[in-house]
């Protein structure tokens, strides 16, 4: 299985290829605000403190 490793505090998790960061957080039972699961409502908007965020499909429109 390929993907990127995410770190939230001391917890590390795998964000599988083709999955969103939100998918990975929810799979690991991390409590995060969300509604549409598509990135449209932006209720799950988060900030990366040490690396540039990935380019999303929504920002390419």
For residue range 3-61, what is the model confidence (pLDDT) as tens digits? 888 888 899 999 888 888 889 999 999 998 889 887 788 888 877 777 776 665 444 44
Does 57 fall in a domain? no
Asked whether residue 12 is domain-assigned, the answer is: yes
Q: Which tokens hold the place of 6?
A: 């995410």
55 within domain boundaries:
no
Taking the whole predicted model, whether its pTM rises above 0.85 is answered as: no
In a domain, 44, yes or no: yes
Quick one: pLDDT at residue 1?
59
39 lies in a domain?
Answer: yes
Domain holding 44, by residue range, is 3-50
Q: From residue 21, how far is each of 5, 51 by CA, in Å?
A: 10, 14
Judge whether 59 lies within some domain: no
The reply to whether 31 falls in a domain is yes
Residue 22's Cβ-count burial label (10 Å; 0-12, 13-18, 19+) is buried
Q: How many domains does the chain have?
A: 1
């Amino acid at each position: 299985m390929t993907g990127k490793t995410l770190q939230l505090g001391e917890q590390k998790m795998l964000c599988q290829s083709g999955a969103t960061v939100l998918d990975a957080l929810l799979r690991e039972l991390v409590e995060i605000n969300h509604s549409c699961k598509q990135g449209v409502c932006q209720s799950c908007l988060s900030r990366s403190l040490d690396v540039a965020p990935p380019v999303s499909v929504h920002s390419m429109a």
